[in-house]
Chains A and B, each alone.
Chain A
Amino acid sequence: MKRDNFLTNEYEVRKQFPLLNDNDIVYFDYAATCPMHESAIKRWTLFQTGVGTSISRGNSILSRKAEEVLHRSEDEIRLFLNLDNQYEFIYSKNVTEAINILALSVENEIREMDIILVGPYEHHSNYLPWKNLAKKKGALFFELPINSSGLIDYDYITRYKEQIKIIAVSSTSNAYGGVVDIEKICELMSDTTMLFVDDSQLCAHGPISTNRAISAHFIPSHKIYGPKNIALTAIKAELIKKISPVLTGGGMVETVGFIDTWRDNRFKFFPGTIDIALIYAMAGACNFLREVSYKYIEEFEQKKHDEIVDILTNEGFKRVELQDKQASHVISFYHEDMHAHDINEFLSDSNVIIRSGNMCAQNAIKKIGLNAINRISLGLGITENDIKILRKALREVTNSINV
């Protein structure tokens, strides 16, 4: 797929996603999950027939192949994310699990009355694990405040610098695309603060921050057109050395005895069987995105964003707009005269798939004075035809309101 053709040949792109190609759906829920790219599907199948096993299964030819595939895949993923060897990779089945594991792993680093600070627009998965950690350790659990101008109050970090031990933020909010200035946080925070960034909503749409002040990134495969059930935590090597594993068992232990010891570095976070096929498939998706390039993705999504915002405005819907920057690939909206759930029923009738409700981000939704919203989220595979169907479906909503 040549890059130059990309913007003008969105129908060809759509064909590369079997889910979109083989079903009569109009898909606008990329923030929830992305359709798997054909290269990722092919890789997963290839692995099953060519390797079929995991690493650390003795000295067999298959296990050695699995090792090779893992290392190659990780190189590809590293290249895509632009992360150097200061970051080691560990895996979980999803980002929710990844964050929970990390929160439990850093327990011993947290003292009573330390501040654990989360972003103002967080998904429950990047909120509740930190809240539980604070409860357990007698630490303080706070959200970064919004000032009276509606902007994130980054100076808060300066005011409480010495007390803040963890900052956990999403680089882009799933609820309505609020963008957090990661670079600014890196600049303001103390050297002893750990910064954990959930890049779930960014990684398929723009480059993640490679600021080395970040202690860990969370990257879900299914949000970058890869398979489900695998997520990557890219964690600073020096942090891995300090923290303890949470899940124990085969594969991660060095010796079992009166005192058990763990394998070195990241391998202490490799309990049980790791699905190398999923990592291989994820790497395939990374290669696809690298080939397409962020530049084209940003231009493509901006164009679709502008069209959809026009439609929403013309049809009388209100957008969720922040004073802070918002990502163009997340468009959240509501109507004063119809609940989000009811709007969604109209769209469902036309097989238009969006998300409605509180987006698993209740605090974020309440901040804008609502209990429920609708969300259109963008990605590769959307075509002009999809936009037409969306327009028609939204018009049906407003027609019914006006009747």
Chain B
Amino acid sequence: MYNYPRKVTLLAKKRNQHIIIPDLVMKKESVACGDFISISGQIDDEILYVNCISEGACIFSKACCNYLNDALYGKRVEEAREIINKLNFMVKGNIDALYEMFELDSQKYAHREDCLTSPIKLMNDFINAILTSSNYLENERINTKENLECDACVGACKIQWDVNKSKKINNQEGYPDEYLRKWLPLAKTTLSNDEIESLKINCESVSEDELQFLSDRTINSIVLDNIYKNINISPSRKWKPAAYLIQKNEITRPYAERIKGYIRDNNLNMYFVKGFVTSKYYDNPSMRIHSDYDIISCSGEDAFILAHALIKDGYKIRPHLFSYKLLKIEGKRVVSGHFHLQKIIDDMYMLEVDISYPAFPLNRVDLFYPEQVDQEIRVEDQLIITVLHLFKHSHVFMKDINDIYQIIRKCNIDYQYLKRRICEKHINEYVNLVVSFIKHNYKSDVKIDEFVERMDIDDTIYKDNNDWPYVEESHIKIKKNDYEKRIINSPDEERIFLMPLVMFKEYVETRKLGELLSAEMITEYLYRINKKGYALYLTGFGIFLDYTVDTRIVNRKEIISEIEEILKKLNITETMSIPYATDSFYVRSI
């Protein structure tokens, strides 16, 4: 190391191993021309527990962060505030005193002032924020059974340590059916002449609320593409978010391709599905925009191995979108899991990876296991997955219907195989409905006709539900119908949401982990340690907490103490800082 004064060197070398179950996480990048600072903290009984980490940072930044940790961790809130106020005063009005505190020559290191002051400034902001709002872990748990929303994808579970503030709420109101009738037809990949006329009128007079609807349903970019293709007018700046969503595709796709490369190079049994795959069937692949990149992992262990690799590469974990669920499929107990990882690119575009294992979820209580050919999922199974996704949420995504239309038009389909698979999983009604809708509403195509004939598509369900997909009640009714048949043999268990508490630096063999800690095996890659009032989960890349922790019985200090014991038993002295995702946006538009 450079011959800095001893105090700075010693401070910088300190390893901060405080485990925090945070109320708030704050991060800042490119600080002081090249540092990254993350602060997480919790307040229990008026005591502040804080972790300030400066990753890949210079010595001054590390020294200052460690100084703050020592000075503030375990202090009463008011005392912590006094300390940070004193430091802040030095930053603003007496910088020489700050240099002196670190035994640094203020003349020689004048150019490094920001390295010393940035952690203090961020900590000041952090303490102000944590005292006024503990927003990071919110208090709402969303009831997804009412409208059969996907319980994995909707942020259905967050912890509130003050259990009195916890409550369960119903999912928010959707949009009026009028919006669906008006705009969903204009989000098809092919438009009739009438629809083009309708588009001309509607795109000029679109309201802010409608634009929000289009954005929420991720059809704004399809509509914008239709404007460019069919109408000779320049759209107004109202359509900017749609354009940025298209640009997001351009920027994020190479990252997804690199993930695919990693999967292939490491022989992981994982496959991209939906938009990443189906976009190639479009004339302009960029128009098939993604809110995220969907991956199926045939192995839960492989899913966790990829997660670990991505986290090491700077991806963040969305703690309320990491879960598993016990299913009963054909009499057998199956563990089905799901999680999201994200990376923000250029502070503008969120790349989100949505991983499901060990197969694609089917209406909350079943799974569809796709087959592979030449290291890719068969096109027939991609089609089925797209149909299943169409009925996964409480509302329809037009991009799924567009995908199905494109797949049928552009691919050679093994109809026998497809029929068999559809029957196996009893999704005939779904397929009949969507293909009939396509037949009656999309531009005619010989391949569509062939599909209808070869697959014996029965349009009764379409005629009986001729307002689908323009009325959400209709969609939910169809899902419910299917759901009620399935739960006869497959009960809808509560999903278990897991919050990451520790991330291992190296991937650990989970079985050994489980044996060493005498943990209960959920699967060969997931173990559980049951405690009074809570449960800890062990995976090869970290330790997680069950969100259903009863905060009346147990507090965080106990949990942290338990984790410290576990790490001691495992002889793990260094862990990664938890890469909590702190941003939540798909794309920003300038």
Contact = CB atoms under 8 A, between A and B. Distances in A.
B34 A358 contact: yes
A134 B590 contact: yes
Contacts of B34: 339-341, 356-358, 365, 371-373
A140 interface: yes
B237 A113 contact: yes
A372 B345 CA distance: 17
A148 B33 contact: no
Contact of B346 (A342, A356, A357, A366): A366
A401 B59 CA distance: 13
Nearest to B112: A341
Contact of B284 (A159, A401, A403): A159
Interface string B274-317: 00000000001010000000000000000000000000011000
B112 A156 contact: no
A131 interface: yes
B240 A138 contact: yes
B58 interface: yes
A372 B33 contact: yes
A141 B590 contact: yes
A142 B30 contact: no
Interface residues of B, number: 42
Nearest to B55: A371
Nearest to B345: A366
A401 B1 CA distance: 6
A312 to B, nearest CB: 18
A140 B4 CA distance: 47
A342 B59 contact: yes
Contacts of A341: 33-34, 58-60, 112, 115
B73 to A, nearest CB: 24
Interface in A106-150: 111-113, 131, 134-135, 138, 140-143, 145-148
Given A341-B58, A358-B33, A369-B314, A111 B590 contact: no
B251 interface: yes
Given A112-B236, A156-B250, A341-B58, A140 B244 contact: yes
A184 B476 CA distance: 52
B234 interface: yes
Contacts of A148: 253-255, 257-258, 261
Interface in B246-275: 247, 250-251, 253-255, 257-258, 261
Give the one of A145, A153, A339, A356 with max B CB within 10 A.
A339
A131 B590 contact: yes
Interface string A360-403: 00110110011111000000000000000000000000001101
B584 to A, nearest CB: 20
Given A339-B59, A358-B30, A113 B254 contact: no
Contacts of A371: 29-30, 34-36, 56
Given A145-B251, A148-B253, A341-B58, A113 B33 contact: no
Contacts of B247: 140, 142
B243 to A, nearest CB: 5
B2 interface: yes
B377 interface: no
Nearest to B254: A148
A362 to B, nearest CB: 5
A143 B349 CA distance: 12
Contacts of B36: 371
Contacts of B5: none
Contacts of B59: 339, 341-342
A147 B56 CA distance: 27
B239 interface: yes
Given A140-B244, A371-B34, A372-B34, A345 B2 contact: yes
A296 interface: no
Nearest to A140: B243
A346 interface: yes
Contacts of B176: none
Interface string B333-362: 000000000000110000000000000000
Contact of B2 (A111, A147, A346): A346
B533 interface: no
Which of B2, B29, B258, B314 has the largest number of chain A CB atoms within 10 A? B2
Contacts of A372: 33-35, 58
A113 B60 contact: no
Contacts of B57: 339
Contacts of B257: 148
A147 B243 contact: no
Nearest to B33: A357
A345 to B, nearest CB: 5
A103 B292 CA distance: 35
A322 to B, nearest CB: 14
Contacts of A342: 1-2, 58-59
A392 B139 CA distance: 59
Interface string A150-186: 0001001001000000000000000000000000000
Interface in B451-509: none
A153 B249 CA distance: 13
Interface in B56-72: 56-61
A363 B283 CA distance: 31
Contacts of A365: 30, 34
A108 B287 CA distance: 30
Interface string B213-257: 000000000000000000000111101100110010011011101
Nearest to B247: A142
Interface string B9-35: 000000000000000000001100111
Which residue, B33, B59, B60, B235, has most C-beta atoms of chain A within 10 A? B33
A135 B590 contact: yes
A145 B254 contact: yes
A112 B346 contact: no
Nearest to A341: B58
A231 B60 CA distance: 37
A139 to B, nearest CB: 8
Contact of A400 (B2, B236, B240): B2
Contacts of B244: 140
B408 to A, nearest CB: 26
A112 B29 contact: no
Contacts of B253: 148
B254 A138 contact: no
A111 B234 CA distance: 9
Contact of B254 (A147, A339, A340, A356): A147
A362 B284 CA distance: 31
A140 B240 contact: yes
A138 B236 contact: yes
A44 to B, nearest CB: 29
B146 to A, nearest CB: 40
A372 B261 CA distance: 27
A146 B36 CA distance: 24
Contacts of A340: 34, 58
Interface of B: 1-2, 4, 29-30, 33-36, 56-61, 112, 115, 234-237, 239-240, 243-244, 247, 250-251, 253-255, 257-258, 261, 284, 286, 313-314, 345-346, 589-590
25 contacts: A113-B240, A113-B243, A131-B590, A138-B236, A140-B240, A142-B250, A143-B251, A145-B250, A148-B254, A339-B34, A339-B59, A339-B61, A340-B58, A341-B33, A341-B112, A345-B2, A357-B34, A358-B34, A362-B30, A366-B30, A366-B345, A370-B56, A371-B36, A372-B35, A400-B2
In the complex, the 4 A-B pairs of residues with the closest C-beta atoms, listed nearest first? A372-B34, A138-B237, A357-B33, A148-B257
Given A113-B239, A146-B254, 18 more contacts: A112-B234, A134-B590, A135-B590, A140-B243, A140-B590, A142-B247, A145-B250, A148-B261, A341-B34, A341-B60, A356-B33, A358-B34, A365-B30, A366-B29, A369-B314, A371-B30, A371-B35, A403-B1
